[in-house]
């Protein structure tokens, strides 16, 4: 009895399935930009945030994207108020005091 040599060999690797992972977004560079005790000029950005994690105090404005910025020249102070809230304030400082500190 004769057997025909009609064998066929196929690839042994199964096709890989698709995945739903494998992407990521770039960082948004949020956070504190000017720290406690630093001298700032009016218009300097103090904090970039999503929502009001830190509230504006005296001398600080808030943008439509919740960015806190200095409204006056002065020294930055971070303070706690209420039970569990934080705020950033900018207090004006005289030029003589600033030179004496340096």
Q: Write the CB contacts of 83 (distance below 8 Å, at least 6 apart in sequence).
A: none
pLDDT in tens, 15-73: 777 888 889 999 999 999 999 999 999 999 999 999 999 999 999 999 999 999 999 99
Q: What domains are there in the chain, each with its CATH number?
A: 31-91 (2.40.50.100)
Which residues have C-beta within 8 Å of that of residue 91, sequence separation ≥ 6?
Answer: 58, 59, 74, 75, 77
Spatial distance between the Cα atoms of 73 and 19, rounded to a whole number of angstroms: 53
pTM of the predicted model as reported, rounded to 2 decimal places: 0.75
**Cβ–Cβ < 8 Å for 36, 78:** yes
Task: Determine contact, residues 20/30, Cβ cutoff 8 Å.
Answer: no
């Amino acid at each position: 009895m004769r057997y025909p040599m009609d064998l066929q060999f196929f690839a042994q690797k199964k096709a890989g399935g698709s995945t739903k992972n494998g992407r990521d977004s770039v960082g948004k560079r949020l956070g504190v930009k000017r720290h406690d005790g630093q001298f700032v000029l009016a218009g300097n950005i103090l904090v970039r945030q999503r929502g009001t994690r830190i509230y504006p105090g005296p001398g600080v404005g808030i943008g439509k994207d919740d960015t806190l910025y200095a409204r006056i020249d002065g020294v930055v102070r971070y303070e706690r108020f209420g039970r569990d809230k934080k705020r950033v304030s900018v207090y004006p400082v005289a030029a003589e005091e600033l030179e004496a500190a340096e």
